[in-house]
Amino acid sequence: MADTVRFDNVACRVQNGELVHDLSFSVNEGETLVLLGRSGSGKTTTLKLVNRLLDATSGQVVVEGRAVSDWDPIELRRRIGYVIQEIGLFPHFTIRRNVSLVPSLLNWQSTRIEERYREVMKLVDLDPSAFADRYPSELSGGQRQRIGVARALAANPPLLLMDEPFGALDPITRSDLQMQFRALQQTLKKTVVFVTHDVSEAFLLGDRIGVMEAGSLMELDSRKKMMNSNHPLIHSFRNSVEGFLKQNESD
């Protein structure tokens, strides 16, 4: 299987320290790789190294067989879907314009943009006509987050970067969106790098899971194998799930 993204011994330093170091891993085509870790562990930095919002200070990041330093950053970013926790919808753009942002940056014809707008809105289960001329401020948090996903999918990028996309939602909306995203991913088969601090989300969505800590990747393995990991994050998660199951049995 080809790797869509590969990190070769990557480090990223800024003036006041090292954000990530010794990162080496690859993301296979069509898989969802979840990077799990506490805040400040370097997950977001890792994502930004892929679409060059940050540049590696040593080592190299390779996307689709080409080092990101050889890509034109603008072109690279337009080929990568990006969803961030704060969503970052443009408040002065209608939903249609927000979703169609990358296609219009790519100068698609307007009929094709409109067609694609309708397609992706249906993918995220929102009515294309009803939302077209509304503004982000008129939408609920869950709807906005779906728009964020629709926008990332609009230009049909082979690779998606998702930075805690469901982190700010209430638990019920969050699990709705997680389920929907999982179903979507089973049909679309995008290559996804998904960042989260939520262990259950990692096990729900990840084909493979990597645990990050203090700027480096501690463990990386398939979901099944990670279930038995003894990393404290996963260990305590497993304990709480087992405790929950036991309690339910005894009830």
Q: Is 168 an interacting residue with respect to other proteins (CB under 8 A)?
A: no
Q: Is 55 an interacting residue with respect to other proteins (CB under 8 A)?
A: no
* Count of positions on this chain that bind other proteins (CB under 8 A): 21
Contact 158, 190 (CB under 8 A): yes
Interface with other proteins by CB under 8 A: which range of 34-42, 86-94, 174-182, 208-216?
86-94
49 three-class SS? helix
Contact 62, 91 (CB under 8 A): no
Q: Is 68 an interacting residue with respect to other proteins (CB under 8 A)?
A: no
Interface with other proteins by CB under 8 A: which range of 69-77, 120-128, 138-146, 237-245?
69-77
**Cα(215)–Cα(227) distance, integer angstroms:** 22
Give the number of other Cβ atoms within 10 Å of residue 14's Cβ. Answer: 10
Give whichever of 101 and 209 is closer to other proteins, judged by the CB atom. 101
- Residue 126's closest CA among 163, 176, 190, 196? 176
Q: Is 82 an interacting residue with respect to other proteins (CB under 8 A)?
A: yes
**Cα(208)–Cα(27) distance, integer angstroms:** 9
87 φ/ψ sector (left φ>0, alpha ψ -120 to 50, else beta): left
- The nearest distance, CB 234 to other proteins, in angstroms, is 30
**Cα(174)–Cα(171) distance, integer angstroms:** 5
Q: Is 43 an interacting residue with respect to other proteins (CB under 8 A)?
A: no
Q: Which of 151, 190, 197, 208 binds other proteins (CB under 8 A)?
A: 151
Interface with other proteins by CB under 8 A: which range of 63-71, 78-86, 118-126, 178-186?
78-86
CA end-to-end span of the chain, whole Å?
Answer: 47
Q: Is 6 an interacting residue with respect to other proteins (CB under 8 A)?
A: no
Q: Which of 56, 61, 84, 159 binds other proteins (CB under 8 A)?
A: 84
**Contact set with other proteins (CB under 8 A):** 51, 53, 74-78, 82, 84, 86-92, 101-102, 105, 137, 151
